[in-house]
Amino acid sequence: MSYQLKKKDLFFLLLKNTRVCPIVIEYIEGFLFIQTMHINTYYADSSLSKDTCLKSIAQEKVLNLLSEIINDPKEVAIMVTDTITTKILSCLFQVNDLHNKQFFLMERLNRPRQCYPETPVVYFITPSTASIQRVVDDFSQPKRPQYGNVHLLFSSTLQLEEMDLLRSNADLLSRIKTIKGVFLEYILLEASTFTLKMESAFNALYSPKYELECRQSYDEKNAIVSLESTLSCIANRLVTVCVTLCEYPYIRYPKDQRQAERLARLFHERMNLYIAQDHSFEYKPERGTLLLLDRAQDPLSPLVHDCTYQSVLYDSGILTEADEGRVKYQYETNRDERHEETVLLDDNDAIWREFRHKQFAYVSEELSKRVQSVSTHTNTMSNSMTVSLSEMSKSVRGLTRHKEMKRNVSKHVHFATRAMDVFTKGKLFEIAELERILVTGVDDAGKKRKSNAELLKQVESILKTTDISLQNKIRLLAIFMITQVSRMWIVSI
């Protein structure tokens, strides 16, 4: 897997019944979700079709809805989002994309805002009591309303309690022109990689201490409610994923896994409820299968070092989850001046999009070729002569594109070099090779594994090495314990 993994317990797989390949992979606190589709429909040349990836489907869904609401080409509007929906939209669009859709201002619901009493507003918010209360507060003074006509878009189902809260404000009620559910309550990390963004789910589902604290603070009933509310939230958000993909999956889970069973029943209930309420929803006739499995089914994936470009940048510390794809980058100008800027590694970066899931060795070779190509192109352009204004214009445009390409290549060469230094000093390539031998039983050349005694000796040698971080030693030791436990013997008891 390409994403940096943590300790997980429960994960989901949504599979098609025929030929499958993974296109959606999600890791959150305790959960993994993989959506797979037909190769001939969703894959072309082993890569995702731009028109059928999750991001493209979600973008089209949102833009079509906004076009229905603001359908007058001369009309301008304001969009207001809360904390969660801001993240949802920022992963789907750039600011200019929405400006082109006649939104001249994007504002945050929880921040002070200027009044535009004649301007229509689109609130795209979660159907939470806190967010809806802020909307109600915007129209608490009828003589000084925050905005004009109101269009309400909710990321998931609006409950009756929240609907009653909207009805409590007569001025707001008179201004509402649209109330719709977008059913988009997941955050995209890549074109087809998303997260439910539920950091507390792991503790709520599995920590005895968490449940004990709930009992001490309230009572056992409330502790159960807390667990149920977590499962309910997960189920609701998974429904929004399936609605986006037009999927009505079959559900399967091991009978001895209590949490998976409870989640399965909740998801089935919420999915059926949605289908009953939305008669226009048409799911695909070849239904997928949603598998709910405990993390214990695959404890190794979060531990093994993956040598793809993206994983190497995470394991080397260049990328971190907290930075959300933002990396500091130092470069030299033509005047030998050093500059530092923060760059974003996302789908708008062509090299990152092409190489992030490729093996690091392959990426290093390809970047070397790109450097040579850029250098050759630079020499060609410097030796060329322009004889007309049209040719000169083409040359300038080509020079601009060339400078952007040169800078992007230079940026990734910088990241790859930094990562290589960290991996070399920390012996991470050697550790990764040993991990693969422990897990698969063969080395990279396909030769049969070494004896248990030799493997143990190699593990001990790495554990004694001072250049290797404690975290990587723990990961290796955990892999050894999991894979060799049936043959392991302790000699120092």
Residue labelled with tokens 């149920």? 228
Would you say 483 and 439 are in contact if contact means Cβ atoms under 8 Å apart? yes
Residue 53 above 90 pLDDT?
no
Co-location of 76 and 175 in the same domain: yes
**pLDDT the model gives residue 377:** 61
Co-location of 448 and 333 in the same domain: no
Co-location of 314 and 406 in the same domain: yes
**pLDDT the model gives residue 340:** 82
Co-location of 381 and 473 in the same domain: no
254 lies in some domain? yes
Residue that wins the pLDDT comparison between 190 and 415: 415
HEC string of the chain?
CCCCCCCCCEEEEEECCCCCEEEEEEEECCEEEEEEECHHHHEECCEECCCCCHHHHHHHHHHHHHHHHCCCCCCCEEEEECHHHHHHHHHHCCHHHHHCCCEEEEEECCCCCCCCCCCCEEEEECCCHHHHHHHHHHCCCCCCCCCCCEEEEECCCCCHHHHHHHHCCHHHHHHEEEEEECCCCCEEEECCEEECCCCCHHHHHHCHHHHHHHHHHCCHHHHHHHHHHHHHHHHHHHHHHHHHCCCCCEEECCCCCHHHHHHHHHHHHHHHHHHHHCCCCCCCCCCCEEEEEEHHHCCCCCCCCCCEHHHHHHHCCCCCHHHCCEEEEEEECCCCCEEEEEEECCCCCHHHHHHCCCEHHHHHHHHHHHHHHHHHHHHHHHHCCCCCHHHHHHHHHHHHHHHHHHHHHHHHHHHHHHHHHHHHHCCHHHHHHHHHHHHHCECCCCCECCCHHHHHHHHHHHHCCCCCCHHHHHHHHHHHHHHHCCCCCCCCC
* pLDDT more than 90, % of the chain: 41
Last residue of a domain, one of 297, 332, 353: 297
**pLDDT the model gives residue 230:** 85
* Range with the poorest average pLDDT among 23-32, 66-75, 265-274, 375-384: 23-32
* pLDDT more than 70, % of the chain: 78
pLDDT band at 63 (very low <50, low <70, confident <90, very high): very high
Q: What are phi and psi of 404, to 5 degrees?
A: -65, -45
pLDDT digits (tens, 9 = 90+) for 164-221: 999 999 999 999 999 999 999 998 888 888 888 887 777 777 776 766 666 555 544 4
Co-location of 65 and 41 in the same domain: no
Co-location of 421 and 432 in the same domain: no
302 lies in some domain? no
**CATH code of the domain containing 112:** 3.40.50.2060
Last residue of a domain, one of 274, 297, 320: 297
Would you say 165 and 133 are in contact if contact means Cβ atoms under 8 Å apart? yes
What average pLDDT does the segment 134-144 reach?
95
* Range with the poorest average pLDDT among 56-70, 286-300, 366-380: 366-380
5 lies in some domain? no
- pTM for the model: 0.78
Last residue of a domain, one of 384, 410, 425: 425
1 lies in some domain? no
354 lies in some domain? yes
**pLDDT the model gives residue 208:** 66
Residue 483 above 70 pLDDT?
yes
Q: Domain span at residue 362?
A: 309-425
Q: Looking at beta carbons, which pairs linking 350-356 to residues 24 or more positions away fall under 8 Å?
A: 350/408, 351/408, 351/409, 351/412, 352/412, 355/309, 355/412, 356/2, 356/308, 356/309, 356/310
Would you say 146 and 115 are in contact if contact means Cβ atoms under 8 Å apart? yes
Residue 39 above 50 pLDDT?
no
Co-location of 232 and 339 in the same domain: no
469 lies in some domain? yes
Residue that wins the pLDDT comparison between 298 and 314: 314
* Structural domain total, the chain: 4
Instruction: Write out the two tokens for 121.
Output: 């507003």
191 lies in some domain? no
Interhelix angle 452-463/470-484, nearest 10 degrees: 160
What average pLDDT does the segment 357-362 reach?
93
Highest mean pLDDT: which range of 159-173, 191-205, 337-351, 449-463: 159-173
**pLDDT the model gives residue 455:** 86
Average pLDDT value for the chain: 79
Co-location of 99 and 148 in the same domain: yes
Co-location of 37 and 120 in the same domain: no
**CATH code of the domain containing 409:** 3.90.830.10
Co-location of 358 and 340 in the same domain: yes
* Range with the poorest average pLDDT among 23-37, 243-257, 400-414, 475-489: 23-37
pLDDT band at 434 (very low <50, low <70, confident <90, very high): very high
Would you say 250 and 285 are in contact if contact means Cβ atoms under 8 Å apart? no
Residue that wins the pLDDT comparison between 99 and 80: 80
Would you say 34 and 12 are in contact if contact means Cβ atoms under 8 Å apart? yes
pLDDT band at 4 (very low <50, low <70, confident <90, very high): very low
**Cα 125 from Cα 100, distance rounded (Å):** 21
What average pLDDT does the segment 127-135 reach?
94
pLDDT digits (tens, 9 = 90+) for 274-311: 999 998 999 888 888 888 877 777 888 889 998 899 99
132 lies in some domain? yes
Co-location of 66 and 161 in the same domain: yes
**pLDDT the model gives residue 193:** 81
Co-location of 116 and 34 in the same domain: no
